[in-house]
Amino acid sequence: MTEARQVRWTTGQGLSIPAARHVRLVADRGELWLHGVRAEPRLLGTVASLTSAHLRTDGDLRSFRRWPADPADESLLAPRPVFESARVTEAGRDRNEAAPTGALVLCGPDGPVITVPFRDVLPTGIPESDVLRASGAEALIRALGLTLQDGPPLDRTQRTAESRVLLRPHRRLLGLAQLVVTMGVASSVISGFAMKEELSWPAWPYTVACLLAVAATVGFLGSRLAFRRLTRTPLQAGGRSVYDVPGGVAGTQLQFGPDDVVVVRPYEPGEIWLRGPAAGGVTLIELGKAQVHLKDADGTLLAAFDTAELVPAPADADRLRACCEKAGIKVTSGGFEAARTPGVGTRLRPVRGETVWGLTDLEAGLLGPCVDLLCGLAALLGLIALLGPRASVDGFGWLLVDAHLVCLLAVLPGVFGRWWRRKRLLPGW
DSSP result, 201-256: TT-HHHHHHHHHHHHHHHHHHHHHHHHHHHHTSPPP-TT-EEEEPTTSSTT-EEEE
pLDDT over threshold 60, residue 78: no
Q: Contact at 8 Å (CB) between 354 and 284?
A: no
Helix ranges (H only) for 328-389 are: 371-386
Percent of the chain surpassing pLDDT 70: 79
Residue type, 365: G
pLDDT at 13: 87
284-287: strand order across its sheet: 301-306, 291-295, 284-287, 330-333
Is a pLDDT exceeding 50 seen at residue 1?
Answer: no
- Taking Cα atoms as reference points, which of 232, 250, 54 lies closest to residue 137? 54
The distance in angstroms from the start CA to the end CA of the chain is 59
Contacts with 122 (C-beta within 8 Å, 6 or more apart), sequence order: 10, 11, 131, 134, 135
Question: Mean pLDDT in the chain?
Answer: 80
Please tell me which residue, 152 or 423, carries the higher pLDDT value.
Answer: 152
Choose the most confident range, by mean pLDDT, from 60-69, 267-276, 368-377: 267-276
pLDDT at 345: 77
Q: Once rounded to an integer, what is the mean pLDDT over residues 398-420? A: 75
pLDDT at 319: 93
pLDDT band of 202, cuts 50, 70, 90: low
Q: For position 366, what pLDDT does the model report?
A: 82
Q: What is the pLDDT of residues 306-351, one digit of tens each?
A: 898 999 988 999 999 999 999 999 999 865 554 455 556 788 888 7
Mind listing the pLDDT tens digit for each residue in 142-191?
A: 999 999 998 899 888 998 899 888 888 887 888 888 889 899 899 888 88
C-alpha dist (Å) from residue 429 to 346, 419, 422, 424, 426: 28, 10, 7, 9, 6
The partner residues of 70 in beta bridges, in order of sequence, read 66
Q: What's at 389, amino acid-wise?
A: P
**pLDDT score, position 406:** 86
Q: How far apart are CA 328 and CA 418, in angstroms?
A: 44
Identify which has the larger pLDDT, 84 or 349. Answer: 349
Residue 407 has pLDDT above 50, yes or no: yes
Q: How far apart are CA 198 and CA 410, in angstroms?
A: 28
Query: Does 256 have pLDDT greater than 90?
Result: yes
Q: What was the pLDDT predicted at 112?
A: 93
Give every CB contact of residue 86 below 8 A, 6+ residues apart in sequence: 342, 343
Residue 274 pLDDT > 80: yes
Band the pLDDT of 249: cuts 50, 70, 90. Answer: confident
Beta bridge partners of 117: 103
Q: What is the mean pLDDT of residues 388-403?
A: 69
- Asked if 112 and 157 count as a contact pair (C-beta separation under 8 A), the reply is no
Please count the residues of the chain. Answer: 429
The model's pLDDT over 366-378, given as tens digits with 9 standing for 90+, comes to 887 788 888 888 8
Task: Give kind and range of the element (H or E) at residue 273.
Answer: strand 270-275
pTM listed for this prediction: 0.82
Answer whether 261's CB lies under 8 Å from 294's CB: yes
pLDDT at residue 265, as a whole number: 92
Task: Report the C-alpha gap between 65 and 59 in whole angstroms.
Answer: 12
Identity of the amino acid at 343: G
Share of the chain above pLDDT 90, in %: 28
Q: Using DSSP, state whether 182 is helix, strand or coil.
A: helix
Q: Where is pLDDT greater, at 399 or 68?
A: 399
Is the pLDDT assigned to residue 68 strictly greater than 60? Answer: no
- Residues near 22 by beta carbon (within 8 Å), at least 6 away in sequence: 9, 35, 36, 37
6-46 residue pLDDT tens? 999 998 888 889 999 999 999 988 899 999 888 789 999 99
Amino acid at 360: T
Residue 298 has pLDDT above 60, yes or no: yes
| Per-residue pLDDT, 429 | 38
Q: What angle do the packed helices 371-386 and 204-231 form, to 10 degrees? A: 150
Least confident of 48-57, 122-131, 314-323, 412-421: 412-421
Contact 75, 368 (CB under 8 A): no
Question: What totals of helices (H) and strands (E) does the chain contain, helices first?
Answer: 13, 16
**Amino acid 96: pLDDT:** 52
> From CA 148, how far away is CA 55, in angstroms rounded?
8
